[in-house]
Structure 1
Amino acid sequence: MVKRIRVAVVAALGIATLVAGPVTAASAGTNIVDPAVSSVSVNPNPIVVKGSETVKVVFTAETKDNASKVTGVIKPELGVETSFELAKDADLGSGKARWKYSKDFNRQSAPIKWTFRAVVGNTTPVSTEFSVKQVYETDFDDIAAAPSVVDEGEWVTLSGVLRQNGADGWAVVPNARVHLAFRPLGGSYSRLPGSVETNGQGKFWLKARASKSGHWRAEYDGSPTRLGAKSETDRVDVRAKARSSRIVGFGAGPGWVTEGDRLSVRGLLQLDAQHGWEGYRGQKVAILFRADGSSRWDQVDSGWTNRDGRFDVDVTARRSGHWRAEFRGADGVKGSSSDTDHVTVRKPEPAPEPERAASRVIGFNASPEPVRYRKYLTFTGKLQVDDGGWEGYRAKVSLYFKATGSKKWRYVKVTTANGSGKLYAKTLAYGSGYWKFVFKGDDDFYGDSSRSDYVKVRR
Structure 2
Amino acid sequence: MSRRGKTVKASLAAAALTAASTVAPAAAHAEIHDAQLTSAFDRLSHDRVATFTLKAKSSDGIVDVEGAVRNPADAAPYATLSFTLVDGTNKDGTWQATLQTDVEHHPGANIAQATVRSADGSTLSPAAAFVDCFLTSVTDVGYAPKTIDIEHPDVTYQGRVMVQKYRDEPLEPAEGATVKAGNGSARTGTDGGFAFTATDPSMSVAVARQGALCGDSAPAPLTVVKQATETTARLVSVRPTAEGADVTVHGTVMRRGSAGLVPVSGLSLTVDYRQDTAGAAAAAPASGDWWPTTGADGTFDASFSVTRSGRLSIETPGTFYLTGGSVDLGRVDLSRTARISGPSFSPRGPLAYRGSLEVTGTLAGDWGPIAGAPVFLEFSTDRKTWTRATYNKTTATGGFDFFTADAHTEKDGYWRVRYAGDGLYKPLVTPPTYVDVRYGTSIGGFNASPEPVKKGKSLTVKGQLFRYMDKKLPGPGAPVSIYFQAKGSSKWAQVAVVKTASNGWFSKAFKASKDGTWMASYNGSASYLASDKPTDYVDVR
Higher alpha-carbon Rg: 1
Query: TM-score by structure 2 length?
Result: 0.39
Q: What is the TM-score with the length of structure 1 in the denominator?
A: 0.45
